[in-house]
Structure 1
């Protein structure tokens, strides 16, 4: 191997290593589960609202351009989720699902609705390599209008970005 070939080879390896270090974190956002414990649970309106949360969160995180969103289809999530709240409670299994999709992080959450007046987003940020949650977010939503939902998702996205920024430094 001549010196030019050696330099090209070393440059390629260094370039690939730098690309991996500077690669945008890959985040899998799982569909939110609805935990509606009101006297009239699981209305079509509330199911639709909850179904909109993961796409809204994906869009909010994507806006900065700092993250790659990893797709997890509903069937794969359903298969991995042995029952209601399973992935929410067992972070190692949520991490396994993320790892299968090539994600660095997994967001798993529930939309808990104890009242017609307010509800909560409970979300865990799971580090796929550690197979454990590194943060939990609790966001209160007062009301059920789209504007309230969007504000809660934007607040959640800001908290997630702050957590991930802290993990890049470490």
Structure 2
């Protein structure tokens, strides 16, 4: 009995407990298109690509990505922009899926020449907005969207654990 107790105590001193993985729910990005031709298929496709790209980047840094079904996200979103503007509602959604943080995103397109990837990072535990991130993307090219997502991932990680390393300039792969 004494040997087991000593072994348990020794293991506790030698083997530090591993920190829990940070769990992030990344919601589908919504498009806020203010141009004269809103909602064209190319923009809807670009908007739909942001979440998978961001998921890949943050997962590569070791974050655990929490999946929330689109139907559940839509049910929680009382209207366009609701979750983006209501950190408490986003946190409640994240709590249902045991996330530590929820990222609510928007592609804001005021012009044909540029768009902004916007993200609100909400801490589920206290239902507070802890980060408001904006990254500009100029032009419609897929490579420009990838680079903007990498920049957004770096900003999000900067507010969390600083473990993401964006690819060097010119090395981003087109996905």
SS in structure 2 at match of 1:141: strand
Deviation at 1:10, TM superposition (A): 7.1
**Aligned residue number for residue 68 of structure 1:** 64
Mapping of 1:98-113 within 5 angstroms? 98-113=94-109
Secondary structure in structure 2 of the residue aligned to 1:156 = helix
Which residues in structure 2 correspond to 1:33-44 (within 5 Å)?
A: 33-44=30-41
CA distance in 2, matches of 1:35, 1:162: 26
CA distance in 2, matches of 1:116, 1:147: 17
Q: How does 1:121-140 map to 2 (within 5 A)?
A: 121-140=117-136
Q: Which runs of 5+ in 2 are unaligned?
A: 163-175
Q: CA deviation at 1:164?
A: 0.2
- TM-score scaled by structure 1? 0.87
* Aligned counterpart for 2:50 among listed residues 50, 53, 63: 53
Q: Paired residue for 2:165?
A: none
Between the two proteins, the alignment pairs up a number of residues equal to 162
Runs of 4+ residues deviating >4 angstroms: 4-14
Q: 1:8 to 1:67 in 2, by over 3 A?
A: same
1:143 aligns with 2:142: no
Per-residue deviation, residues 23-78 of structure 1 (Å, max 9, x unmatched):
220000000000001000001110011001001000011112x2100001100100
Alignment match, 2:156: 160
- Selected match of 1:89 from 85, 105, 120: 85
Q: TM-score, normalised by structure 2?
A: 0.84
Determine the C-alpha separation between the residues in 2 that align with 1:149 and 1:73: 24
The 3-state SS of whatever aligns with 1:123 is strand
